[in-house]
Structure 1
Amino acid sequence: MHIDQFKDLLEKYLDDRISPEERRQLADALEDPKYVQLLDETIYGELVARAYEGTPDEGIRQLIRQRLDQETSPVHTIRPRRYRWAVAAAILALVAGAWLWLQRPVKQPAAQQLMADAIPGTNKATLTLSDGSKITLDSAGNQVIRQGATAIHLQGGQLKYDAQNSPASVQYNILSTPRGGQFRITLPDGTQVWLNAASTLRYPTAFTGPERLVEVNGEAYFEVAGNANQPFRVKIKDAEVQVLGTSFNVNAYADEPTIQTTLLEGSIKLSAHNNQVLLKPGQQAILATNKEFHINEVNPNDAIAWKNGYFLFKNEGIESVMRTIARWYDVDVSYQGDVMKQRLGGTVSRYENLEDLLKTIELTKSLKFKIEGRRVTIMP
């Protein structure tokens, strides 16, 4: 079972949306120390602990297992207790060197509750075929797009390529997400890519040569299908990632001062400006403007918080925070007065109402926000 599948099962269980078969799968997973560690160490552990407040960690796991055993029993008829929360439920603001933890439950807001001009992002993208034709993609509906010998399946906000025969010539497609959009794609070799807002992925409709080469602008998370005979390469601005089979995240937005590559599993080699580095799981390489790599030990799950549905900031400058928020909510940001020294940190759902998110930050009494249509002005 992949970790993402375990997380999905746990979220369904906590929200009372889990099927009997999924309950059995989750019960089996909780016997595996790897998933127990994930439950303890991540935000999922915080959410579970909140549901079983006052219960020791081992007691929590026992209670979950007992409930799962009862719920999967054919004679069990008790309706399970419901828990309602989303993945991230708090934002932490750092102002003048002090941390302020502001917690509140997060739920997917109803459309009528949202600002009409600044709602959270959704699954949407544009697929540009090799002949220049464009197809608008979203979460609604299913269809099959034929491109020569390749069938492209659109289902539930995801694209999946099925190369049925070897093509006579390689064609390149481009998947582009707008500001306020994200999308997931399965490439012809089985590699899965999650594309964040305001990003592009250029790739062939079939991998026929000695290597698999794609290009990314913006941010993407990769789970690369292993193939030792056909290395996988990702071009990102002035750098390149080389892998055989691994999971990693790249952040290479044009308006960001650095390129960040974070390795979750496997190993990768980064190359840029005649410099090369090898990354191990849990390491992040930052390519700065001086064209040198800086390696940091990190929690790799932090880098894919966006993929899992929430923002995560760690003592970041206000400009960096607002660039991220602006891409997802598709708003423009301006600044008035002396606010550039402010730094923020913490987690919050990407599906939070923008107005509510900004009001939460305002509780620090150090920043104020004015929203006019699609423009956010930040003031001291």
Structure 2
Amino acid sequence: MSTTKAKELLEKYRSGMLSPEEMAILDTWYLRTAAQEDLIIEEAGFEDNLDRVWDRLSVNHSQPVKRKLLSFPRLAAAAILLVLCSFGLYFYLNRTKVDNQIASSDKHFKNDIRPGGNRALLTLGDGSEIVLDDASNGQLAIQSGVRITKTAEGRLLYSVADTHSSGLPTFNTISTPKGGAYQIELPDGTRVWLNAGSSLKFPANFPSSERKVDLQGEAYFEVAKNALKPFKVECNRQEITVLGTHFNVNAYANEKQIKTTLFEGAVRLNAKGAVSRALKPGEEAAFSSGKFLISRTNGEESIAWKKGIFQFEDADIATIMRQLERWYNVEVEYRGNISEDTFRGKISRNVNLSQVLEILEVGGVKFDIEGKKIIVN
């Protein structure tokens, strides 16, 4: 952000005329400036520290402070974590405006990468493929008595067209690339949201005995209730059995654990060699080393991606980079000594990569973008 723009926001802050959106930008700019000029972020609070930046800019500040907007608790070493939370929330609520206002900030990146979007590939039972982001809205195919339609909202809909259809089930697979996400409604009414770099294999029409799908990557399920026909999700080395429920599964191959988070209903978890466990709403199971570890959670972090947000709760830089890799379709290279600090906060997934990295850099980590690669220094 230019000095002129900073002075303008500081003057509005001092007069009590700053909007919440402008406050979010000023918060982040302030922490950047404090770091660059070796200003110590003290426990006195945001106002007292901001006054020191104000004085260095020699701006006329004759009007009294009328602070009525965002207030910060004690600022210490974790100040960056707090600003991530406020700035990220602003991004989520007002993405378009923030894109315009941040556009004039001083960026040091040689190039930039746009965020992912509604992209997926559908592979039918006969091996034919349909690129869903290029396909026109309307009917795409009919298989096993089921009509496959792309809706105007950009999701895939399976609906029964022939109730007398029989024979062996025809399996379809929907795959999202890195930088892609997609929503699908299965023939039983179950709705599935697929995160980036994921795939779901399922029968075009479920047989009478059970409903079973195979997941790789991450997905959020809203399973249609059917007490006579359980719904099963196979993912890596784990099987999840439900009747009707809402839950999220993170089963990426490069993550240390398979995490299942339950929001509604009940699920039972099974894995070879492990004791079967049942989950209740508000619980999360982490599976690793042949064991299920159950903990209480509000679930916000696990489904932030579905809401268009990166949400970090004491996440180290490697954890954050894995999410950026998948959503921006990039590689990550680490150089030098990597910070062991953890981050907490929210950032919109609908902004360019440079904007995410700029926010993270306030915490002391430095980045470069070289082609389709993030360099972490």
TM-score (norm 2): 0.72
CA–CA distance in structure 2, aligned partners of residues 305 and 264 of structure 1? 13
Give yes or no for the alignment of 1:101 onto 2:99.
no
Per-residue deviation at 1:201?
0.2
CA–CA distance in structure 2, aligned partners of residues 189 and 95 of structure 1? 52
Moved more, 225-234 or 355-364: 355-364
CA–CA distance in structure 2, aligned partners of residues 240 and 308 of structure 1? 26
Kindly tell me: are residues 147 and 118 of structure 1, through their superposed partners in 2, closer, same or farther at Cα, counting changes over 3 Å? same
Residue 376 of structure 2 aligns to a residue in which SS? strand
| Residue pair 1:318, 1:340 contacting (<8 A) in 2 also | yes
Structure 2 residue corresponding to 1:154, chosen from 150, 155, 164:
150
Residue 322 of structure 2 aligns to a residue in which SS? helix
| Residue pair 2:266, 2:280 contacting (<8 A) in 1 also | yes
Among all aligned residue pairs of Structure 1 and Structure 2, give the percentage whose two residues are the same amino acid.
42
Amino acid in structure 1 at the alignment position of 2:126: D
| Residue pair 2:246, 2:263 contacting (<8 A) in 1 also | yes
Render the CA deviation track for 1:135-156: whole Å, top value 9, x for unaligned: 0012874120223322101012
Per-residue deviation at 1:340?
5.0
Q: Which residue of 1 aligns with 2:283?
A: 283
Residue 167 of structure 2 aligns to a residue in which SS? coil
Residue 151 of structure 1 aligns to a residue in which SS? strand
CA–CA distance in structure 2, aligned partners of residues 300 and 370 of structure 1? 32
Superposition pairs for residues 1-380 of structure 1, below 5 Å? Answer: 100-102=81-83, 103-104=86-87, 105-106=90-91, 107-108=95-96, 109=99, 118-138=113-133, 141-148=136-143, 149-155=145-151, 156-165=153-162, 166-274=165-273, 275-288=275-288, 290-364=289-363, 366-379=364-377
| Residue pair 1:127, 1:173 contacting (<8 A) in 2 also | yes
| Residue pair 1:123, 1:139 contacting (<8 A) in 2 also | no
Higher gyration radius (CA)? 2
- Any runs of at least 4 consecutive aligned residues in structure 1 with deviations exceeding 4 A, and if so which? 94-99, 113-117
Residue 190 of structure 1 aligns to a residue in which SS? coil
| Residue pair 2:80, 2:362 contacting (<8 A) in 1 also | no
Amino acid in structure 1 at the alignment position of 2:132: L
Per-residue deviation at 1:99?
5.3
Amino acid in structure 2 at the alignment position of 1:220: A
| Residue pair 1:264, 1:281 contacting (<8 A) in 2 also | yes
CA–CA distance in structure 2, aligned partners of residues 340 and 167 of structure 1? 58
Amino acid in structure 1 at the alignment position of 2:255: E
Q: Which runs of 5+ in 1 are unaligned?
A: 1-49, 54-88
CA–CA distance in structure 1, aligned partners of residues 184 and 76 of structure 2? 39
Amino acid in structure 1 at the alignment position of 2:277: V
Q: Which runs of 5+ in 2 are unaligned?
A: 1-19, 24-69, 104-108
Moved more, 301-310 or 252-261: 301-310
| Residue pair 1:139, 1:158 contacting (<8 A) in 2 also | no
Render the CA deviation track for 1:44-87: whole Å, top value 9, x for unaligned: xxxxxx69x9xxxxxxxxxxxxxxxxxxxxxxxxxxxxxxxxxx
Amino acid in structure 1 at the alignment position of 2:118: N
Per-residue deviation at 1:370?
0.7
CA–CA distance in structure 1, aligned partners of residues 356 and 122 of structure 2? 31
| Residue pair 2:178, 2:327 contacting (<8 A) in 1 also | yes
CA–CA distance in structure 1, aligned partners of residues 348 and 245 of structure 2? 27
Amino acid in structure 2 at the alignment position of 1:374: K
Moved more, 99-108 or 160-169: 99-108
Kindly tell me: are residues 139 and 194 of structure 1, through their superposed partners in 2, closer, same or farther at Cα, counting changes over 3 Å? farther
Per-residue deviation at 1:115?
8.9
| Residue pair 1:145, 1:153 contacting (<8 A) in 2 also | yes
Kindly tell me: are residues 297 and 205 of structure 1, through their superposed partners in 2, closer, same or farther at Cα, counting changes over 3 Å? same
Q: Which residue of 1 aligns with 2:31?
A: none
Render the CA deviation track for 1:161-201: whole Å, top value 9, x for unaligned: 01222333210000000000000000000000000000000
| Residue pair 2:332, 2:373 contacting (<8 A) in 1 also | yes
Kindly tell me: are residues 252 and 340 of structure 1, through their superposed partners in 2, closer, same or farther at Cα, counting changes over 3 Å? farther
| Residue pair 2:301, 2:313 contacting (<8 A) in 1 also | no
